[in-house]
Structure 1
Amino acid sequence: MLAVLCPGQGSQRPGMLTQWLEFADESDFTAASHIEAWSQAADLDLVELGSHADDETLRDTKNAQPLIVALSILSWRIAQARGARIPQVVAGHSVGEIAALAIAGVISDGDAVRLAAIRGRAMAQAAAENETTMAAIVGGKRPEVLAALDAHDVTPANINGSTQVVAAGSTEAITALGENLPRGARLIPLSVAGAFHTHYMADAVPAVRNAVENLVVSNPNCTLLSNHDGAALHAGSQAVWRIVQQMTSPVRWDLCQEQLISEGVTHAIELAPAGVLAGLARRDLKGVATLALAPDNVADLPGFLGQEDNA
């Protein structure tokens, strides 16, 4: 059973789109033409951002979110052009949930990129109101880590698996937390511009709610998992409203991973810009084969999918 995983913010890096733009196939699919169309939907030059922007530019959430969603969708369409079929399960991390909506057929590709751009702009404006940030806390005992977050008035914005919690809060509080971590834990600052998935994002909700109200929505064509609780969503209307709700509530990727196991997933492909979710899967989803999709391993897809057929 195949799962497709869509990464979230923090996975972006300079030049991540460049090699993908070179892909074309016998059906006259061109990556560049898709990105140009999605650039109009996002009102951003995604080619420029994905090819030439520096770390600081990509850290800006209004740029990062639509670019990540566009690249995730693009990499899957390229995979489909090379034989990948509709997966049995799709899940996205944070803004990756928007890409997951498109992969599962709930909304169109263009609407997904447009929604990500609206979400990114709204969250950037909300983030500018306070000096906030996020950091991954790796290692340590989970109860001790959560107690340390609570003691410093920091929110566990993402619980990503057995060994990683992402803390979000004021920059001052995150700094203090880093100086008082439990034994065995370490803090890794994330390349994000604010305390996402916390109450700091409340002012961003109306713009995203308005955008969701105007979407053309279908029911998912596969099992679609929610970040909120790992539950499988079967109604498209429910799935898009979860995007609104999730802006101020934690990402429970640990529960998504548990549900992947419950669904019987044997193979997982993380879409571009890949690496983070595949790494978490290798740690927590024992026995599940993973592929972090990249331009240099697209040719490996038929073999990987063939393994899944025989699983």
Structure 2
Amino acid sequence: MLAVLCPGQGAQTPGMLTPWLEIESVAQTLHALSDATEVDLIAHGTTSDADTIRDTAIAQPLLVATAIATGREALAGAAPGLVAGHSVGEFGAAALSGVLSDADAMSLVTVRGRAMADAAAAAEPTSMAAVLGGDAEEVASLLAQLGLTPANANGGGQVVAAGAKSAIEALVAAPPARARVIELQVAGAFHTSYMEPAVQALAAAAQDVVRHQPSATLLSNADGAPVASGDDALSRLVTQVANPVRWDLCMERMLELGVTGILEVAPGGVLTGLAKRGMKGVSAVALKTPDDLPAARELLEAHA
């Protein structure tokens, strides 16, 4: 079975859309997606610098549009067996699985990005940090002592902590034994209670959105479970903003369901890297540039 995966915030890089715009079909899709959002996707994906596209309100629509456009190009009409996305990548996954139209996915993620940026700005200074390695129980104990939330459980010994910036700085200064801590360049403590105002804004925007049954198995970041319906998928997309991402459980579920191949759509690399540690033996292709499309289609033929 082939799983199509959509990366989350932090995967974006300056100029990442430039080579993709040379493919007419991808360019047409990106222009159409740009019309569905308030963000100039083409400009931000080609000429904006790293600081500009780090802005949550820009990064999130840009990532979802890139996932949708490159995913559709790679699949070329074929249906994946399973689709999942990490954090904001869930919106790209919802579109590729048919739960949301491309335009609705873009409209909602635009609200999400802006609302999360606003929630971060309104709160006390907050931040996030990746904790790599260390004993799992010791890491969890230290995070609890510091009042931090394990906002992303990514598997392979990687946890992303989130909370007050002062607590993150304390974690960086005195990491758990045998662990490395890297503070992330993000606007605030995503996937924690600090994001509750963003949940409310997204819920209001989602009320009248048409949702459909997924055409492929769609996994939820909440617990790695397949969503039961379009209503269930949309509800989980809304509440996930203020709740931890359990990517470790998503990888476990993929193995349980018989996934043998992974295609990570652009800007690929992060999730296939996690899969090398958490899903050993599963074939994987990460779409970084159009040069990766032949390998992606070979993967599709072998595992779809």
TM bin, normalised by shorter chain, reads: over 0.9
CA RMSD of superposed structures (Å) = 1.1
Q: Partners in 1 of 2:219 and 2:61 — Cα distance?
A: 21
Q: Which residue does 1:279 correspond to in 2?
A: 273
Q: Partners in 1 of 2:303 and 2:261 — Cα distance?
A: 6
Contact 1:223 1:234 in 2 (8 A): no
Contact 1:228 1:250 in 2 (8 A): yes
1:97 aligns with 2:104: no
1:266 aligns with 2:268: no
Q: Which residue does 1:151 correspond to in 2?
A: 145
| Aligned equivalent of 2:64, options 53, 69, 92 | 69
Q: SS of the counterpart of 1:233?
A: coil
Q: Partners in 2 of 1:269 and 1:192 — Cα distance?
A: 26
Contact 1:23 1:78 in 2 (8 A): no
1:78 aligns with 2:73: yes
Amino acid at match of 1:146: A
| Aligned equivalent of 1:120, options 100, 108, 113 | 113
Shift of 1:236: 0.5
Q: Partners in 1 of 2:157 and 2:234 — Cα distance?
A: 29
Q: Which residue does 1:16 correspond to in 2?
A: 16
| Aligned equivalent of 2:296, options 284, 289, 301 | 301
Provide closer, same or farther for how the CA distance between residues 86 and 191 of structure 1 changes in structure 2, counting only shifts above 3 A. Answer: farther
Q: Which residue does 1:204 correspond to in 2?
A: 198
Q: Partners in 1 of 2:267 and 2:288 — Cα distance?
A: 8
Q: Which residue does 2:45 correspond to in 1?
A: 50
Percent identity over paired residues:
51
Q: Partners in 1 of 2:128 and 2:70 — Cα distance?
A: 27
Amino acid at match of 1:298: L
Q: SS of the counterpart of 1:203?
A: helix
Q: Which residue does 2:282 correspond to in 1?
A: 288
Q: Partners in 2 of 1:255 and 1:71 — Cα distance?
A: 25
Segments of structure 2 that go 5 or more residues without pairing to the other structure are: none
Segments of structure 1 that go 5 or more residues without pairing to the other structure are: 25-29
